[in-house]
């Protein structure tokens, strides 16, 4: 993990270079471009209405697609994107465009919302904290695709585990508005939770920066520079994920033409948009803070070098001339009258002490000591 | 307060990470997210009209809500946001939306104005100076929520104490226009005072920067860097608070559709908007000044290091060769003819003095001394 | 003037923090917020038409207001803003809004134009050079308020002395268009002269920067850094004054709705707007130049430090080993065979000379000497 | 390749300064402005429809132009731009404007799309990786002109070899939609492949930056600075090529007025536009990363200098005073009582050891060792 | 030329501070504000139509104005702007506004186009390379005013010599479209040539930057910093000249309302606009390159300082302790047992050699040698 002699830190996460792998393929080809190892594909199903709630883990795709249109909201949660035929099965059942399926499987999409005649397609970046002893928070980024078709919400993600468990619980316990409002509210609630988790990530980054700022003064070393730069890289990635998310939410909140998104849900979307704006502002503030920490580090280092130089100069300025003086009387000339003087040795000491005193006075006046 | 060996300064104030604490709660849930300890909630009431004025401290919520609609302006001033049921009582009495109450209690809101059918909701950041012996001004930031419903203005804040006492006195003494104009003018006057206090904060920051600029030349040390960075952090926070305030005021001043805000008050709002623009410009100017002080610090430090190096080099260049020379004649070879010369010792001195003179001349020509 | 041991420079001018002084006063209160000591208030009057011209110095306010509406253009020039009753007298006579009078007396206004039903109110920042032996130009900034009501132009300023004398002469001598066109042309001519004086200020600043650039190479010292930073501060202030002036002129030049500003004068205003744009561009260019001078200073200082270090290193590298060698033969061991050799001393010299030659060769190859 | 003593790197590619060479020529003059040596001009032809496919390498221009309008899509691929008469022959056959032909031959065009009455003209920058052992990727940039006239797509490039072979294969094997959709889809597919190749280039640059970041910590040397700056230069060029490409694609995707581009192809163009946006974002992120690597380099170098200075200071501070002490007792005064003391020598050693211990303690407390 | 001890470079050209000289003059006053010495004013005339061409050098103003309206295009080329009456004569003959004449003579105008009822007035900055042995290209900037009235194009410039000779030749030889299209094409062709010459200037600047980049690594010295800063200054000036030129061309190309500019010429103007955009992009790229060269310089200098320090530290660390050791045995204590040992001298040597070996090993492990 640390190729640089234990010091350097790898970029904590990189978007897989999906497009590079797919160069030359025909547009619309559904190919998983992520780095997850192929595993079993899981399909969970949550079905609920005002009067009931059902959570079927591992329901399988056919069970999940059966019964659509019975007036209840259903959330089909797909984990794992290797199974291209299954994606195409879902696409066929819900009438999705080939390009949508391609985007679902190409997991390096920019966040966006696309409106089709019968459905909305939303791509987001889900970012979570990985527990770690490191000062720099370790982040995990994943593409979350959300399709809203009539009463159905389909979510696609690469790995098991997400940030949506509190939502599942809320729906199950019929708390809040979740059960009373329709599939559009469900889609909103998913989006909102993803945005809210950005705050937790930013808080961790803020703490890391504060720790680095202390270190920059205390003990400026490689790890500080490296850590600050790693944080800056993370913020760069976050901004890249959040900036289009903000546009996406603004676009959804404005979305008045179609009946897909009801007016109360639009109000909530405006709220989520406000959150995204606040997240972005925090990202920018943390970016400036990170730059300031780097500046502080450099300033502290300069000051430290200056201190070191000053000590060296004081020592050298005091002792080098004295060493010259004693060297003079260490010469072996036959005719050196001072050597025979009675108080010669004492006089040399006196001269040297006066010189040292004068020099210390000079340093004091220059405020060096 | 100073974890870094007495030198580092904590960020003077941080927005509580409200959203992180609330992740997973249903939107519209009213939860106080600030850091104030729970204390008694106070409700003050000011009622006035052209012909009278009444200020009831600790009136209690029911008394404050009684009598609304009697043609007089009433200002209900709520201090402390822990009492969720009371907030919901006010919301019910005045017809506030759940999201408004949630925002009142979530004290990390971005400044904004929201128009509802029957009321306006304004969020501001109230920033005040805390008296302190520190060079870097110590700031206190607090969320002030203002609700304007008909003849009633309700303000919500977390802590006792605010910047509005001069306004209370002005109304009580019937100076200025305050008593003649309606509740919209009252709301404006509150907003205006909050904006005006930003000037006082900026003046304190400006003085701090001037002090640091002197120090940067006189005695560049850790405290200077640290102080300048602390000021930059404060300016970053201020900008974040003031930038949306400007938009808010522009939006209110343009607000022509509804009767809630009368035309003369809109004129005053335009004035307040001009102030907010001036505040923002000052913030930007101070940010550039802070950067310039940091630059000056670095330049002064570089010059100081250069001075130190120059002294070292002069001393070393003069004395190291001389020490070599006297070292030569300190050797104990049996056959060193110079040692026996009558004027050997004097000749060495002469050579050394000439060398020193030449070197000093060279340094003078290079303008080092 | 130089608190920093003769080196630091105070910001050459600061906007008085007017608003901080007025916090809590009712909007519309007329209070002078500047720093001028209270002195006599002077009112000059210039009255002219196609056929005549009269300049009455110290006319007094009543004389100045008498006779308005006789078809001749009159320019009432008020110096000194302490006399609140007089300001209110003028306001009453010309029908000015209380907010206008407040702005006239609050001398930290941002440049702006405000249109009222019967008059235009223009605020500008008049910036002039104070003669000084300093390299950094010393600037004086003052608020100039211009009110255009029918045939009357009123100007308000804090101090005697302005940049408008050439205009007075031009009107008096009936040169140019001044006498043939109306009060709107007069107002334009005043604005134009204020803008033109910015050029003179910028030229002085440009000369200062050029001087500092030479110094940055010749003798990088504190005064250079300090001077460049002072110039940057001045440019920051200038930009703050000129930027809204540009908007103001654009707004006036577009002002087609009302009859107050005639079409030919609008043409001239477009010209003045072009000038303001050019001034702003020059300000930006000088700001970049100032940054470049600072960069040059730092680079020159780094190079100088490098030179110093190189000299030190050469001296030390040559002489420290030699001193060691002669130290060896200064040891007093009883058994040191070399000391007894016939050519020992000569051999040591030979070895040392060869070593020096080799080192000099190495330095030459590294291009250090 | 390395004029700077093996260290410096030439800018990896430069746009030929086409316009400088053509100054004074009448607009519309067709002159090849690139740097390719004149060689044979090659014209390939691909003709296909739903039922057949023909690829004629070296078909020649007349064969390529014959048969246009038979309902099949034909792709005329011209390599080499020296042959002005041939370009004019194509222009005449397809009805191209002289300015289009001029742009085809002037190979330093900015990417753009131009709509003419009967055809679309698209200019792109085709950027490919040249295999190299260098850490900094070696790029090759070339102008690709695409003309879409009815059923014909003509591509013009300077050199043999391009990024379009996968497309040729795809059409030949009738995979994807290529054969079923018309000439507009062919043009889109060409544009899309060029954009997709930018990803491969960016991935190589990203790898290079990662390598340089490791080096910046391990062994900061000239090659690191040079490499990072070379990468920055490449990113600058890439941005210059891609920025207008994004506009071009947005413009094509919006192109609703004419029948030249069908609605399904516009959907694909929107997709290509999304890719271009993602490419641009990556370029910006890599630019910031490159700056961060440079910053890291400088910080690592400062730290290293600080380390070096600290060692020097410790050594000098410990030994220079000791050398002075032993120098004192190396003096040859006749009257130096200490020299005759029984334990004088031992006392000197004791004093020196204590002094060293104290100094080491001081260094330890300053955390220098 | 080099006031700074042979090192500093004066800004290669400065816009004359025209406005400062004219402060207080009535707007519309025609005064030459440039720095050219007054010389003879020259008026050249080129008259041509489809069937003929005449070039009369030194035609004089009356001859040039005679015969206007005969259906042929005439280009009146005025050199030298001191002759105010002549300018007014031209203005009267062609119906020019006084402000236009003022702008013609005030040679520090920003590029712009102004439409009047009967004519177009275009101001451009003509920038040419002055042949020089200097690395930094020496530029000459001049104002070129172009007036298009009906069939007449008048150009005004300060000095003999311009960039338009190729155009004169082209018209004379009836090459290209010049003779067939009207006066608007002539005006376009002039503008186009001026823009094209910016490319030549930028190419020279690009070459200079490349030379400085090599130097920054090879031999970082004052001249490099100075040269790079001079280039940056030139680019700043160029941007200032070209930025409004781009707007000007966009405005002309859009100019659909009036018949003055025909549709084919507008097509050519769009082309010229594309060129101006490309020029601006190149300017921005060169500005970033110049900054990068400066950064490289600083990094190279830091590395060099680090190298110097390292050598010094190695030498000092090796020899200072050794010198101490030999100093010890140079003391003259009577009781120093080691001095009498048989192998004392050899032992000291052995100890010293081992110490040196250990230190070299340590340096090797730190990669210092």
What is the pLDDT confidence band of residue D12, given thresholds at 50, 70 and 90? very low
- Give the helix ranges, DSSP H, for C254-333: 263-328
For strands B152-157 and B73-79, give the pairing: parallel
Of the candidates B246, B245, B279, B128, which has an alpha carbon nearest to the alpha carbon of residue C15?
A: B279
What is d(CA B17, CA B22) in angstroms, rounded to the nearest whole number?
A: 9
Query: CB distance B315–A312 less than 8 Å?
Result: no
Of the candidates C106, E201, A288, which has an alpha carbon nearest to the alpha carbon of residue B291?
A: A288
Residues C348 and C329 sit within 8 Å (Cβ to Cβ):
yes
- Kindly report which listed range (A87-91, D88-92, E191-195, E265-269) carries the lowest average pLDDT score: E265-269
Query: CB distance C339–B323 less than 8 Å?
Result: no
Digit-coded pLDDT (tens) for D216-249: 877 778 888 889 989 998 998 899 889 999 988 9
**Helix, coil or strand: residue D71:** coil
What is d(CA D190, CA D184) in angstroms, rounded to the nearest whole number?
A: 10
C29 in reach of chain B (CB within 8 A): yes
Handedness of CA E360, E363, E365, E369 (dihedral sign): negative
Question: What residues have CB less than 8 Å from A156, skipping those under 6 apart?
Answer: A78, A81, A87, A104, A143, A144, A145, A146, A147
Per-residue H/E/C for chain E? CCCCCCCCCCCCCCCCCHHHHHCCCCCCCCCCCCCCCCCCCEEEEEEEECCEEEEECCCCHHHHHCCCCCCCEEEEEEECCCCHHHHHHHHHHHCCCHHHHHHHHCCCCCCEEEECCCEEEEEEEEEEEECCCCCCCEEEEEEEEEEEECCEEEEEECCCCCCCHHHHHHHHCCCCCCCCCCHHHHHHHHHHHHHHHHHHHHHHHHHHHHHHHHHHHHCCCHHHHHHHHHHHHHHHHHHHHHHHHHHHHHHHHCCCCCCCCCHHHHHHHHHHHHHHHHHHHHHHHHHHHHHHHHHHHHHHHHHHHHHHHHHHHHHHHHHHHHHHHHHHCCCCCCCCHHHHCCCHHHHHHHHHHHHHHHHHHHHHHCCCC
Between residues D258 and D23, the one the model is more confident about: D23
Residues D248 and D111 sit within 8 Å (Cβ to Cβ):
yes
Q: Does the pLDDT value for residue A11 go beyond 80?
A: no
For strands E52-56 and E73-79, give the pairing: unpaired
The 8-class DSSP code of residue D63 comes to: H
Question: What residues have CB less than 8 Å from C252, skipping those under 6 apart?
Answer: C113, C120, C122, C191, C261, C266, C269
- Selecting from A199, A210, A217 the residue whose C-beta is nearest the C-beta of B17 gives A199
C335 in reach of chain B (CB within 8 A): no
The 8-class DSSP code of residue C37 comes to: P
**Quick one: D357 exposed, middle or buried, by C-beta within 10 A (0-12, 13-18, 19+)?**
exposed
* Rounded alpha-carbon distances, angstroms, from residue B176 to B47, B192, B319: 17, 14, 79
Mean pLDDT of D156-167: 86
Strand order in the sheet with A112-115: A52-56, A42-49, A73-79, A152-157, A138-149, A120-130, A112-115
CA end-to-end span of chain E, whole Å? Answer: 45
Whose tokens are 């850490």? That residue is D135
Q: Percent of chain A scored above 90 by pLDDT?
A: 36
Whose tokens are 């803070």? That residue is A289
| Mean pLDDT, chain A, integer | 85
Residues of E in contact with D326 (CB under 8 A): 324, 327-328, 330-331
The 8-class DSSP code of residue A110 comes to: P
Of the candidates D302, C238, C4, E228, which has an alpha carbon nearest to the alpha carbon of residue B288?
A: C238
The 8-class DSSP code of residue B89 comes to: H
Q: Does the pLDDT value for residue B97 go beyond 90?
A: no
State the pLDDT at residue D10: 46
Residues C333 and E345 sit within 8 Å (Cβ to Cβ):
yes
Q: Does the pLDDT value for residue C174 go beyond 80?
A: no
Q: Does the pLDDT value for residue A191 go beyond 60?
A: yes
**How many residues are recorded in chain E?**
369
State the pLDDT at residue B12: 40
Q: Does the pLDDT value for residue C339 go beyond 80?
A: yes
Could you tell me if residue C58 is left (phi over 0), alpha (psi between -120 and 50 degrees) or otherwise beta?
Answer: left
Residues E245 and E326 sit within 8 Å (Cβ to Cβ):
no
Residues A34 and A16 sit within 8 Å (Cβ to Cβ):
yes
User: Which tokens hold the place of A122?
Assistant: 């939303």
B4 in reach of chain A (CB within 8 A): yes
* Rounded alpha-carbon distances, angstroms, from residue D156 to C224, D17, E174: 57, 19, 31
State the pLDDT at residue A14: 44
CB atoms within 10 A of CB C361: 10
Q: Does the pLDDT value for residue D14 go beyond 80?
A: no
**Quick one: E369 exposed, middle or buried, by C-beta within 10 A (0-12, 13-18, 19+)?**
exposed
What is the pLDDT confidence band of residue C22, given thresholds at 50, 70 and 90? low
| Cα A94 from chain centroid (whole Å) | 35
Mean pLDDT of C208-216: 88
Between residues C217 and A290, the one the model is more confident about: A290
Q: Does the pLDDT value for residue B261 go beyond 60?
A: yes
Q: Which helix (H) or strand (E) holds D54?
A: strand D52-56
Q: Does the pLDDT value for residue B180 go beyond 80?
A: no
User: Which tokens hold the place of C56?
Assistant: 């009455």
Residues B285 and C240 sit within 8 Å (Cβ to Cβ):
yes
State the pLDDT at residue E21: 55
Q: Which of E7, E27, E343 best probes binding to C when mutated, by most C CB atoms within 10 angstroms?
A: E27
What is the pLDDT confidence band of residue C91, given thresholds at 50, 70 and 90? very high
* Rounded alpha-carbon distances, angstroms, from residue A16 to A241, D198, D205, D262, D271: 14, 15, 15, 33, 19
Residues E248 and E112 sit within 8 Å (Cβ to Cβ):
yes
Query: CB distance A345–D335 less than 8 Å?
Result: yes
Residues A235 and A205 sit within 8 Å (Cβ to Cβ):
yes
Q: Does the pLDDT value for residue A116 go beyond 90?
A: no
E174 in reach of chain D (CB within 8 A): no
> Of chain E residues 344-363, which have a CB less than 8 A from chain C?
344-345, 348
Q: Does the pLDDT value for residue B116 go beyond 90?
A: no
Digit-coded pLDDT (tens) for D257-297: 656 788 888 888 888 888 899 899 899 999 999 999 999 89
Residues B283 and B235 sit within 8 Å (Cβ to Cβ):
yes
Query: CB distance E19–C217 less than 8 Å?
Result: no
Of the candidates C292, C156, B259, B68, which has an alpha carbon nearest to the alpha carbon of residue E226?
A: C292
- Selecting from C26, C108, C220 the residue whose C-beta is nearest the C-beta of B175 gives C26
- Kindly report which listed range (C11-15, D203-207, D250-254, E166-170) carries the lowest average pLDDT score: C11-15
State the pLDDT at residue C9: 46
| Structure-derived torsion over alpha carbons of residues A209, A211, A217, A221, reported in degrees to the nearest 10 | -90
The 8-class DSSP code of residue D237 comes to: H
B286 Cα to chain C: minimum distance (Å)? 10
State the pLDDT at residue C258: 58
| Cα E75 from chain centroid (whole Å) | 29
Chains touching chain C through at least 3 C-beta pairs below 8 angstroms are: B, E
D6 in reach of chain E (CB within 8 A): no
The 8-class DSSP code of residue B122 comes to: E
Of the candidates D213, D216, D208, which has an alpha carbon nearest to the alpha carbon of residue D297?
A: D216
Which residue does chain E place closest to C332, by CA atoms?
E330
Mean pLDDT of B13-41: 66
Per-residue H/E/C for E144-162? EEEEEECCEEEEEECCCCC
Q: Which helix (H) or strand (E) holds D139?
A: strand D138-149
- Give the helix ranges, DSSP H, for B35-164: 61-65, 84-94, 98-105
Of the candidates B180, B202, B218, which has an alpha carbon nearest to the alpha carbon of residue B303?
A: B218
Cα angle B32, B37, B41 (rounded to 5 degrees) comes to 70
- Kindly report which listed range (B140-154, C158-172, E248-262, E293-307) carries the lowest average pLDDT score: E248-262
- Kindly report which listed range (B227-236, C23-32, D101-110) carries the lowest average pLDDT score: C23-32
User: Which tokens hold the place of C42?
Assistant: 């002077």
What is the pLDDT confidence band of residue B28, given thresholds at 50, 70 and 90? confident
Residues of C in contact with B308 (CB under 8 A): none
What is d(CA E206, CA E246) in angstroms, rounded to the nearest whole number?
A: 21
- Kindly report which listed range (B58-72, B284-298, D16-30, D128-142) carries the lowest average pLDDT score: D16-30
State the pLDDT at residue B169: 86
Digit-coded pLDDT (tens) for E170-213: 888 876 666 778 898 999 999 999 998 998 899 899 989 988 98
Q: Does the pLDDT value for residue B352 go beyond 90?
A: yes
User: Which tokens hold the place of A348?
Assistant: 């040399």
For chain E (369 residues), the mean pLDDT of every run of 10, in chain order, is 37 44 72 78 88 85 86 91 89 90 87 88 92 88 92 91 85 74 89 90 90 83 87 90 90 72 83 88 91 90 90 93 94 91 93 95 88
State the pLDDT at residue B171: 85
Digit-coded pLDDT (tens) for C277-314: 889 988 999 999 999 999 989 998 999 899 999 999 99
What is d(CA A324, CA A327) in angstroms, rounded to the nearest whole number?
A: 5
State the pLDDT at residue C257: 61
> Of chain C residues 9-28, which have a CB less than 8 A from chain E?
none
Mean pLDDT of A148-153: 92
Q: Which of E171, E185, E331, E358 best probes binding to D when mutated, by most D CB atoms within 10 angstroms?
A: E331
- Selecting from A178, A203, A330 the residue whose C-beta is nearest the C-beta of B26 gives A178
What is d(CA E32, CA E18) in angstroms, rounded to the nearest whole number?
A: 9
Residues of B in contact with C317 (CB under 8 A): none
Whose tokens are 């470049």? That residue is C292
């Amino acid at each position: 993990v640390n190729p640089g002699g234990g010091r350097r830190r790898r970029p904590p996460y990189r978007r897989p270079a999906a497009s590079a792998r797919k160069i030359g393929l025909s547009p619309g080809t559904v190919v998983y471009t992520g780095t997850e190892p192929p595993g079993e594909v899981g399909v969970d199903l949550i079905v609920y209405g005002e009067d009931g709630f059902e959570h079927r883990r591992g329901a399988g795709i056919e069970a999940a697609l059966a019964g659509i249109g019975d007036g209840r909201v259903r959330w089909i949660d797909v984990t794992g994107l290797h199974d291209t035929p299954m994606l195409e099965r879902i696409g066929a059942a819900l009438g999705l465009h080939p390009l949508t399926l391609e985007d679902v499987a190409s997991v390096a999409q920019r966040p966006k919302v696309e409106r089709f005649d019968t459905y909305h397609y939303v791509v987001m970046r889900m970012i979570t904290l990985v527990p770690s002893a490191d000062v720099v928070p370790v982040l995990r980024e994943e593409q979350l695709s959300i399709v809203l078709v009539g009463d159905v919400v389909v979510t696609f993600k690469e790995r098991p585990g997400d940030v949506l468990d509190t939502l599942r619980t809320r729906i199950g316990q019929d708390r809040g508005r979740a059960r009373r409002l329709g599939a559009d509210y469900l889609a909103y609630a998913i989006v909102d939770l993803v945005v809210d988790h950005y705050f937790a990530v930013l808080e961790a980054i803020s703490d890391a920066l504060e720790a680095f700022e202390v270190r920059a003064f205390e003990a400026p070393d490689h790890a500080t520079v490296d850590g600050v730069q790693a944080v800056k890289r993370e913020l760069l990635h976050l901004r890249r994920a959040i900036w289009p998310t903000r546009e996406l939410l603004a676009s959804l909140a404005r979305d008045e033409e179609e009946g897909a998104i009801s007016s109360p849900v639009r109000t909530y979307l405006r709220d989520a948009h406000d959150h995204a704006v606040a997240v972005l502002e925090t990202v920018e503030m943390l970016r400036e803070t990170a730059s300031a920490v780097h500046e502080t580090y450099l300033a502290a280092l300069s000051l430290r070098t200056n201190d070191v130089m000053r000590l060296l100069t004081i020592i050298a300025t005091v002792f080098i001339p004295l060493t010259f003086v004693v060297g003079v009387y260490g010469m072996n000339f036959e005719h050196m009258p001072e050597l025979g003087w009675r108080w010669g040795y004492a006089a040399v000491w006196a001269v040297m002490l006066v010189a040292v005193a004068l020099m210390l006075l000079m340093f004091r006046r220059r405020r060096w000591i």
